[in-house]
């Protein structure tokens, strides 16, 4: 076990899943894997994601464009936007 310390807002779940976290944990992991005879060479390169073409729809950050939200729900949506990228936000027609 290795304690890598604090990382952004959630080192427990976010460190491994975040692209920026790789630079922190990969050197120790590579040393460990090499030490037990496991391969560590890159087999393929995944390119950085390309921005999608414009759709004409509202931006995901356009809080007022999300239907059925009351003021409390708008605050919840704004909070949602600041969470890390593995996320989903669902709204019912009643605003829940």
pLDDT for residue 30: 94
b/e code 27-66 from CB counts within 10 Å (16+ = b): eeeeeeeeeeeeeeeeeeeeeeeeeeeeeeeeeeeebeee
pLDDT value of residue 93: 78
Average pLDDT of every residue of the chain: 85
C-alpha–C-alpha distance, residues 57 and 62, integer Å: 10
- Say if residues 14 and 84 touch (Cβ distance below 8 Å): yes
Q: What pLDDT sits at residue 35?
A: 96
Query: Residue 68 and residue 91: Cα distance in Å, rounded?
Result: 7
Low-confidence spans in the chain with pLDDT less than 70 = 86
């Amino acid at each position: 076990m290795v304690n890598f310390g604090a990382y952004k807002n959630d080192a427990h779940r976010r460190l491994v899943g975040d692209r920026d976290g790789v630079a922190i944990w990969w050197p120790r992991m590579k040393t460990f894997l090499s030490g037990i005879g496991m391969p560590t060479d890159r087999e393929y390169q995944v390119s950085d994601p390309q921005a999608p073409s414009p759709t004409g729809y509202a931006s995901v950050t356009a809080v007022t464009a999300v239907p059925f939200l009351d003021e409390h729900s708008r605050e919840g949506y704004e909070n949602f936007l600041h969470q890390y990228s593995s996320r989903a936000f669902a709204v019912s027609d009643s605003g829940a």
